[in-house]
Structure 1
Amino acid sequence: MKKIAVVAANGKEGRLITEEAVKRGFDVTAVVRSENRTAAQNVLQKDLFDLTAEDLKGFDAVVDAFGAWTEKTLPQHSTSLEHLCDSLSGTDTRLLIVGGAGSLYVNPEHTACVMDGPDFPDSFKPLASAMGKALGELRGRNDVRWTYISPAADFQADGERTGEYILGGEELTLNERGESVISYADYAVAMVDEIENGEHIQQRISVVRK
């Protein structure tokens, strides 16, 4: 049985990842700041920034579902990830990050990203930039068994769970209908699949609806 912790489990994606993992028989600990609202069997009520190496000891994987949205808190994408990496440094525990799509490349040379495009909404650029910066810093961590999972460009909170998806890499991937879309529910399926069977250590992967 896989033993995992989901950090920021009360969030929309965190709850779905927790639910998916519990359904598959995982032993799941929800790491939450407030009252647990997930299906997890175990709860650790603690702020992410207060977590210690001892708190995260013994897990097969830690899922980072943390999110920050305001101008003041956007830098926490970097600081929170650094804190989790420091806490897991040198261990066998995997760290899987709920990432963003803005940093996916749109050319084979990997010199242009989704967020660089003329159609990318200005309102999302600060968030995409903050998450892209955090990913760049993560790439320098050779002491952690991390995997960064980017969703499709259209990440649908209330989309249906089909249980099917296409696994991509560093570049924006389109399905056969020319779409870059995935639901939160199918993203959760992909995340748990990666914990269960994936071996994308120190790699960024991406997922899109089949």
Structure 2
Amino acid sequence: MATVVVFGGTGYTGGNVVREATARGHRVVSVSRSEPQDPVAGVLYETGTVEQVAGRVIPGADAVVAALSPRGDMAGRLVDTYRDLARQSAAAGARYLQVGGYSSLRPAPGAPRFVEGDIPEQFRDEALEGEATRVLLAEEGPEALDWVFVSPAAAYGAWAAGERTGRYRVGEDVALVDEEGGSTISGGDFAAAIVDEIENPTRHRAHMSVAY
């Protein structure tokens, strides 16, 4: 059994990770600014800002999952927040899994990342901030930190929740597509991939993509 701390544990991605890890018997700590609407039995819910809570929950953690969104009052603050979480995770000796976006992937090996191309205006700021958090790990990640930056498929989110099937594919920083050129993953299977990586590490200081 591992101790897994999930920042953004009542959000879409974080909530799925909380449920998946708890179902597998791990000790789970959820950190969020609001109380959960549907609390999961056995989960320790810590309510407050990252700055208020991180220092008391990261020590002793085996894995830290950062699943915050650059929206609302977090917009423009995600890089600094994740820099601090990475630093504290390294000091605690915890694996650090940071959830990013599809835009940080490439369409082909060596090609520019999607975020470097034409991103619709309504998504651009969020995509740029998400990419900046990847760059943070790649260029500034503490030397002692065992990190993984995890990108979902293009069709991912509460609007395309899907069902947990127990199957998925993982890749590096190139987007995975199916035979018809689609890129999808359900919330449940994306969470399963993250918890599988916690239980059986396959990537270290690397980018990981998840899709069907």
TM over 0.5: yes
CA apart distance, 1:57: 0.8
Give the TM-score taking structure 2 as reference length.
Answer: 0.89
For these two proteins, the number of residue pairs brought into alignment is 206
Percent identity for Structure 1 against Structure 2: 30
* Structure 2 stretches lacking a partner, 5+ long: none
CA contact (8 A) 2:64 2:89 kept: no
**In structure 2, how many angstroms separate the alpha carbons of the residues matched to 1:10 and 1:97?**
16
Aligned to 2:184: 181
- 1:22-67 residue CA offsets vs partner (Å, 9 max, x unmatched): 1111111111222234315212223112234443111110111111
**In structure 1, how many angstroms separate the alpha carbons of the residues matched to 2:204 and 2:91?**
14
Aligned to 2:209: 206
Aligned to 1:171: 174
**In structure 1, how many angstroms separate the alpha carbons of the residues matched to 2:14 and 2:200?**
20
1:23-172 → structure 2 map (5 Å cutoff) = 23-37=23-37, 38-39=39-40, 40-70=42-72, 73-110=74-111, 112-118=112-118, 120-139=119-138, 140-141=140-141, 142-157=143-158, 158-172=161-175
The structure with more helix, counted as a fraction of residues: 2
* Structure 1 stretches lacking a partner, 5+ long: none
Displaced runs of 4 or more, over 4 A? none
The structure with more strand, counted as a fraction of residues: 1
Give the TM-score taking structure 1 as reference length.
Answer: 0.90
**In structure 1, how many angstroms separate the alpha carbons of the residues matched to 2:36 and 2:175?**
35
Task: Name whichever of 48-57 and 164-173 sits farther off.
Answer: 48-57
**In structure 1, how many angstroms separate the alpha carbons of the residues matched to 2:188 and 2:57?**
28
Q: What's the secondary structure of 1:102's corresponding residue?
A: helix
CA contact (8 A) 1:166 1:175 kept: no
**In structure 1, how many angstroms separate the alpha carbons of the residues matched to 2:155 and 2:194?**
17
Q: What's the secondary structure of 2:107's corresponding residue?
A: coil
CA apart distance, 1:85: 1.2
